[in-house]
Amino acid sequence: MKKKCSILRGVAVALGIAAFLVSAPARAERLSAPLEAAIHLRALGYDRALKQRAGDSAVIALLYDASSESSVQAADALKDALVSLSKKMKVQDLPIVVKSVAYKDSWPASELSKVAAVYVSPGLESRLSDIKTQSAKHGIPTLCGDRDLARQGLAVAAYVKGSSPGITINLASARAAGMDLDSRLLAIAEVLK
C-alpha cells in the first residue's frame, strides 16, 4: 500500500506537480485538474495498445453534459490541465491532442472516432449505460475522476484516496475497450476484475 501511494506521488512530483488541491463538489472529493490529468496521461502510457488505437497522436476527448454548468467547468479545467501538460510531454512518443465533446442525447460517434481515450466528466452519471456500451463497441477506453464510476464500469479512475491520489482500473472494461495494460500499472492500482 505504501509503495502504491509513493509511486503515484512520484508521478505527480516528476511532472512538476508538488502538491494538489482538492475541491469538494456534492458527489465526492476530486483531485485537482492538473494532478488528475497527469495521472491519466501516465496511465495511458502503460497501455501497450495505445499506438494501435491512437494513430499519429493521442487524442483525448472530454465528454461533458452541455446542460450542466458543473460538467462544463470540470471538462474545461481538465482540458486546460491536459493542454498544459501536452506542451511538456508526450504519451508513448505521441503528441497529445485534447478536444471537448458535448454528450447530447446519445453517444457522439462521429466526434469520437480515432480518439485514444474519452474522459467522462461529472454530470454524465445517468448516461453511464450508453457510455459503457459504446466505449466497448468502438474500442475507446474511458477515464474519470470518481472511483465509484470505475466500479460501475468506466475503465480508469484517478481520485482522492484519503489524503493521497488513488487509481482504480476496471480491468474488464479496460480490456473490452481494447486496453492492454502493463503489469507495472496494475501493481500500483486498485484492480477491479
In CATH terms, is domain 2-192 a member of 3.40.50.2300? yes
Residues 6+ apart with CB under 8 A from 60: 40, 44, 82, 96, 97, 98, 99, 115, 116, 117, 118, 119, 143
* pLDDT, tens digit only, all 193 positions of the chain: 555 544 444 444 333 333 333 333 334 589 999 999 999 999 999 999 999 999 899 999 999 999 999 999 999 999 999 999 999 999 999 999 999 999 988 899 989 988 999 999 999 999 999 999 999 999 999 999 999 999 999 999 999 998 899 999 999 999 999 999 999 999 999 999 9
- pTM score: 0.85
For residues 5 and 184, what is the distance between their CA atoms, to the nearest angstrom?
14
Partners of residue 168 on adjacent β-strands: 157, 190
- Going by C-alpha positions, the residue among 75, 44, 60, 59 that lies closest to residue 174 is 44
Domain ranges of the chain: 2-192
Question: What per-residue confidence (pLDDT) applies to 1?
Answer: 52
